[in-house]
Structure 1
Amino acid sequence: MDSPSTNGLPQFGRAVVDNLQTAVLVIDEQRRMLYLNQAAEVLFGASVRQLSGQPLELLLSDPDLTELIGETFERHQAVLRHDLTFLPPGSDVPKRCDCWLTPCELVGQRSLLLELATTGPLGDTEREARLLAQQEASRLMLRGLAHEIKNPLGGLRGAAQLLERELADPDLTEFTQIIIGEADRLKNLIDRMLSPQLTLDNGRVSVHEVLERVRALVSTDLPADVCIDCDYDPSLPDLWADREHLIQAFLNLVRNAVQAVDEAPARPGRVTLRTRVRRRLTIAGRHHRLLVQVDIIDNGPGVPEHLREQIFHPLITGRPTGTGLGLSIAQSLVSRHEGCINFYSTPGNTVFSVLLPIAGEQR
């Protein structure tokens, strides 16, 4: 062991950690700092010798983080905390970062590995202004779109009813009922979009019931060599949300994934719907202790690099036949539930993640 500040980290391990671009700290159960890599020294403006043995609160003073550290030690499970804030030495501008907490054991004692990735200054007004402008443009686009499609829906519903009366095979009425049901659902959704208040009709909603409804709708015209798999966490509690809004948001996302897979040369095409619980995340400045994460994963070609910064803007699309409204509408509907949509994309693996807070009926 080279020095007490390394607290038993092997030479090879120190070499690897010191070459990481993200800041890494090791603390013990008393939240004393045992080790910092070079990136952490640069971030906090102090050396490992100066900080070794000092309390973590000297650098990161956050009551929620203190509680989260205790829970991580108790459960011995890795946790991700978004939007942790701190004040760098010599700066008046707080910064924020994502923090991964991973339990480990060094020299026979329980320890915790903290990995910090800075996400920019707190209160990035330019970025927040762009997001607000984007959401407002999405709302205006939604209202214009809703007005244009409301009248044809009545004709669509009426034609389905007439067709149902002429069908000789009663089993085929299942399909006309889908048309009628979807027309009614969209009309109700559009009526609320056109309302100045844009109110939510919240109630207890199973996210799995919503996803199964979406899967049934998409499966009616699913390409033969494309499949939709499910990886659900059965322990998820119900959401307090607007069911129709969620159906529309997930319908847009899943259809986008199916279209992306269908246009890719790789076969078979695969779309996976995955649900998990997430804890302690901050969305739009509000901290949530418990959330549902729904991942829509596809093995398509990925999001083109030149579209990634604008992918949620209205009328932005990478397909010649696309309208550029699906993701914009989905983001707007999810944001009304205090949630958000993020994405990660590489060729053969694109993941759109929807985060929705789990709230009680009092909300």
Structure 2
Amino acid sequence: MDEADWRAWAEQATTGLALVDAQLRLAWLNPALAEVLDLGPRRAIGQPLAALLGEPAVATQAARARAEQRTVQWRDLRLGAPERRLDVSLQPLDAGCLLLEVHVLAPPVAENSPVSASLRGLAHEVKNPLAGLRGAAQLLQRRVGEADLKALAGMVIAEADRLAVLADRLLCPTAAPPCESLNLHAVLERVVALLEAEPVPLAIRQDYDPSLPELRGDADRLQQLLLNLARNAREAGARHLILRTRAEHGVRVGERVLRTALRLDVIDDGAGVPLSVRDTLFEPLVSGRAEGSGLGLALAREIAHEHGGELRHAGVAGATTFTLWLPLEHG
């Protein structure tokens, strides 16, 4: 990767990156690091690194990196108010310059948190390869000439961004998910594009009601719900999938009756749900397949509940139906 390509990738990276000159002043930094330092990139250029990080040991670490020609790092550096916790490394480059890399650590999580330390660690580590994946896809998108290849590269970028958001939610489980006006058909079309790009795509028929209004929700979470349903269908041997949307009135969801609801049916021709697990289908760790994790449908129902809706199962082998109900009332 030449310097121009590296800069293009680094500008989009979610990891904080900077070039530090021989006098330990910032010569360049990416937007991710500017956000960590709470400074505009122009204001940060030329600033002493030790002052920005509030760490007097910077000079010592930099001298070690240069003398030993290896990357040096220090863990759990505390910065600013409110306090942020960082892992920082310095890598020696030519002419006494250094590459600074900064990772923001998640805030401490209560001991009774359902998210384990190992899972948080995975979420933290996965963000680096995701940034590399996104940067590589961006370079491909700029270099290829065919529209189809550009669209596939764009799909990789969008999925890398979605995974980065999911990782952030694991790192900060108390953060409220975004809620915005969205068109469910647009979400469905993204799901269809992803499924059609897979090595053995499902044959998909879309049966949409174009008069449906927008609803409020989190597009990424709804996309995850729909992908889980579609991939469950494929793993059950389905070859065909029907996506059907309608508006219905007076739908009971839990203790509520929705005056107007959006109904989405996901219908497949797979082997169906085994009778032995139908009553516990949406519970975590319940699966009808020996190799299944039993998490996909539990997560799908959780997402439906987050949106004030419900996910239900009906049908038999060859015509399995999962129905998602979502409220259309605003306010």
Question: CA distance change for structure 1 residues 142 and 202 in 2, over 3 Å: closer, same or farther?
Answer: farther
Partner of 2:181: 204
- Aligned equivalents of 2:180 and 2:134: distance in 1? 30
Number of the residue aligned with 1:179 = 156
Provide Cα deviations, 1:50-81, integer angstroms capped at 9, x if missing partner.
Answer: xxxxxxxxxxxxxxxxxxxxxxxxxxxxxxxx
Partner of residue 246, structure 1: 222
Are 2:195 and 1:218 aligned? yes
**Which of 131, 135, 140 is the matching residue for 1:161?**
135
Aligned to 1:276: 246
After superposition, residues 36-47 of structure 1 pair within 5 angstroms as none
Residue identity matched to 1:247: Q
Number of residue pairs matched by the alignment: 216
Say whether the 8 Å CA contact 2:127–2:167 is kept in structure 1: no
TM-score by length of 1: 0.54
Unaligned runs of 5+ in 1: 1-138, 263-268
- Cα deviation digits, residues 263-293 of structure 1 (max 9, x gap): xxxxxx2100000112112222122100001
Q: 2:311 touches 2:323 (CA, 8 Å); kept in 1?
A: yes
- CA 140–296 in structure 1, closer or farther in 2 if over 3 Å, else same: farther
Structure 1 position 170 matched with structure 2 position 170: no
Confirm or deny: 8 A CA contact 2:123 2:170 kept in the other structure: no
Matched, 1:289 2:259: yes
SS of 2:125's equivalent? helix
Work out whether 1:311 is the aligned partner of 2:281.
yes
Cα offsets for 1:208-265 (capped at 9, x unmatched): 11111111111111526x3011111111111111111111111111221222234xxx
SS at match of 1:333: helix
Q: Secondary structure at the match of 1:148?
A: helix
Give the Cα–Cα distance (whole angstroms) in 1 for the partners of residues 116 and 275 of structure 2: 26
Shift of 1:321: 3.3
Quote the residue 1:324 is aligned against.
Answer: 294
Structure 1: distance between partners of 2:140 and 2:323? 43
Cα 1:313–1:140, aligned 2, differ >3 Å: closer, same or farther? farther
**Secondary structure of 2:271 counterpart:** coil
Q: For each residue in 1:99-122, what CA deviation from the matched residue of structure 2 results, as whole angstroms up to 9, or x when unmatched?
A: xxxxxxxxxxxxxxxxxxxxxxxx
Q: Paired residue for 2:235?
A: 259
4+ runs deviating over 6 angstroms: 141-144
Question: Partner of 1:170: helix, strand, or coil?
Answer: coil
Matched residue, 2:213 = 237
Q: Is the 8 A contact 2:285 2:295 kept in 1?
A: yes
Q: 1:227 aligns with which of 203, 210, 217?
A: 203
Rounded Cα–Cα distance in structure 1 between residues aligned with 2:287 and 2:120 = 20
For 2:173 and 2:235, the matched residues in 1 are separated by 33
- Please give the TM-score of this superposition, normalised by the length of structure 2: 0.59
Distance 1:142 1:356 in 2: 31
Q: After superposition, give the CA deviation of every residue in 1:295-335 in whole Å (9 maximum; x if it has no partner).
A: 00001111001111221122222234322211111111110
1:24-39 matched pairs, under 5 angstroms: none
Native 8 Å contact 1:205 1:240 kept in 2: yes
> Structure 1 residues 246, 169: CA separation in 2 closer, same or farther (over 3 Å shift)?
same
Match of 1:342 in 2: 312
> In structure 2, what is the equivalent of residue 49 of structure 1?
none
Question: What does the per-residue CA deviation read over 1:179-202, in whole Å, with 9 as the maximum and x for residues that have no partner?
Answer: 222111122133235434341311
Structure 1 pair 166/183, CA: closer, same or farther in 2 (3 Å)? Answer: closer
Q: Kindly, what percent of the aligned residue pairs are identical?
A: 34
SS in 2 for 1:261: coil
Spell out the pairing of 1:185-200 with structure 2 (5 A cutoff): 185-200=162-177
How far off its partner does 1:177 sit?
2.7
Q: Distance in 2 between matches of 1:254 and 1:143?
A: 30
Instruction: State the Cα distance separating 1:141 from its structure 2 match.
Output: 6.6
1:140 and 2:114 matched: yes
The 2-side partners of 1:338 and 1:325 are apart by 20
Instruction: Tell me if structure 1 keeps the 8 A contact 2:242–2:268.
Output: yes
Paired residue secondary structure (2:236):
helix
After the TM superposition, which of the residue ranges 317-326 and 342-351 deviates more from structure 2? Answer: 317-326
DSSP-derived class of the 1:140 partner = coil
Distance 1:295 1:159, change over 3 A: same
Shifted more, 291-300 versus 280-289: the winner is 280-289
Structure 2: gaps of 5 or more residues: 1-112
Which aligned pairs between 1:22-101 and structure 2 lie closer than 5 A?
Answer: none
